[in-house]
Amino acid sequence: MTIEFRDVTKQYPDGTVAVDKLNLTVEDGTITVLVGPSGCGKTTSLRMINRMVEPTGGQVLLDGKDVAEGDPALLRRGIGYVIQHAGLFPHRTVLDNIATVPLLSGWDKAKARKRAAELLETIGLPAELGKRYPAQLSGGQQQRVGVARALAADSPVLLMDEPFSAVDPIVREDLQNELLRLQSQLGKTIVFVTHDIDEAVRLGDKVAVMRVGGKLAQYGTPADVLRHPVDDFVASFVGRDRGYRGLSFLSADGVEVKEIELVEIGAPVSASDGWRLGVNADKQPRGWLPPNSTVDGALSEDDLVAGGSLWIHGTPIRGALDAALSSPASLGVVVDEDHRVLGGVVARQVLDVIEATPQAS
């Protein structure tokens, strides 16, 4: 479903203009991210799609139909909505939270709860969590339930207002990965609000950079916005390290994966003058064993030091460079999609590939 803003304006009675003649088209089945500083009107723009905020000028169209022409309550039931802190009902179980919109839409309780149980699996949560209450879940689990609730009525449009900003960075990355996985399966039309340019670049098919006063500064692909900012404001907002962020769109073809010496948790280890990577029984990395380390008996995780980031083989070259630079061994860890170790990469060789690639300029 396509979303179109035509000269959309929101001006409050005191004269404050939150959104100023916004023209923007969100293409069917894509993720468009609205990003910008506080007070730029990105959340107001999002909330005008489901009429939680009414525009004072212009039109918001869903597949060519003005949203102002219908019943607001009916409109909202057909649009998924995810907010910070999930916004779950504390007195309802997880299953009943997810089933909320289907029940409001007239589904019988058995059908709604069956749909909720299916969605628990879809978002990667175990079935037994369905009987719990929101307070019994972690922040990341609550956000996943919020996403499941928004998907429950199988609406073609999903609105997400800074949904991952209240969780820690590791959980946030997991939630971003989950959203991208779900989108690859479901193909929703998603409008996502964030103040984080890295999140915008990672998630968006298109990025809309907004400036204070509710004006659209630039709208394009993440690569376009990073490499060709239209003015000083956009250049400043996306950051001086936008060249590094641009590596997110550069292939890692040519990066050499080297062998890494592995030691397994629970096995005896002998002395060595080099760094070795500790792995579990599934060959997943758990940390590095420093040179000349003395281990009494079998190797434990307490003997290891943190290992930096991991690069999933086949993903853009930015991850390879980050893994190499963050590793205490100066050797980035390369893993497959199940996080099993494939080998290592060194920063110098990754940089050589970047320098030899025309797209990097």
List the chain pLDDT tens, one digit each, 361 residues: 999 999 999 999 999 999 999 999 999 999 999 999 988 999 999 999 999 999 999 999 999 999 999 899 989 988 999 887 778 899 999 999 999 888 888 888 899 989 899 888 888 888 999 999 999 998 889 988 988 988 887 889 999 999 888 778 778 888 888 899 889 989 999 999 999 998 999 899 999 999 999 999 999 999 899 888 999 999 988 886 777 878 888 889 999 999 999 999 999 988 888 999 999 999 999 999 999 888 888 999 999 998 888 999 988 898 999 999 999 999 999 999 888 999 999 999 999 999 888 754 4
Distance CA 280, CA 222 (A): 37
Q: Would residue 316 count as lying in a domain?
A: yes
Q: Would residue 137 count as lying in a domain?
A: yes
52 and 195 co-located in one domain:
yes
192 and 316 co-located in one domain:
no
221 and 274 co-located in one domain:
no
How many C-beta neighbours within 10 Å does residue 28 have? 14
146 and 225 co-located in one domain:
yes
232 and 302 co-located in one domain:
no
Q: Would residue 37 count as lying in a domain?
A: yes
Model confidence over 159-215: pLDDT tens digits?
A: 999 988 877 877 888 888 889 988 998 999 999 999 999 899 989 999 999 999 999
289 and 163 co-located in one domain:
no
71 and 110 co-located in one domain:
yes
59 and 135 co-located in one domain:
yes
**In the chain, beta strands by DSSP E:** 3-11, 17-26, 31-35, 57-62, 65-66, 79-83, 157-161, 189-194, 206-211, 215-220, 262-264, 276-279, 285-289, 310-312, 332-335, 341-345
Separate counts of helices (H) and strands (E) for the chain: 13, 16
47 and 180 co-located in one domain:
yes
46 and 147 co-located in one domain:
yes
Model confidence over 18-68: pLDDT tens digits?
A: 999 999 999 999 999 999 998 899 999 999 999 999 999 999 999 999 999
User: What one-character DSSP code corresponds to residue 256?
Assistant: P
271 and 188 co-located in one domain:
no
What CATH number is attached to the domain comprising 178? 3.40.50.300
SS3 label, residue 204: coil
Q: Would residue 15 count as lying in a domain?
A: yes
Distance CA 75, CA 356 (A): 51
Number of domains within the chain: 2
According to the model, what pLDDT value does residue 360 have? Answer: 43
Q: Would residue 29 count as lying in a domain?
A: yes
Q: Would residue 252 count as lying in a domain?
A: no
Q: Would residue 153 count as lying in a domain?
A: yes
Q: Would residue 283 count as lying in a domain?
A: yes
143 and 20 co-located in one domain:
yes
Closest CA to 203 of 178, 180, 186: 180
Total residue count of the chain as it appears in this document: 361
Distance CA 161, CA 59 (A): 21
- Whole-structure pTM value: 0.78
Domain that holds residue 32: 3-239
What CATH number is attached to the domain comprising 281? 3.10.580.10
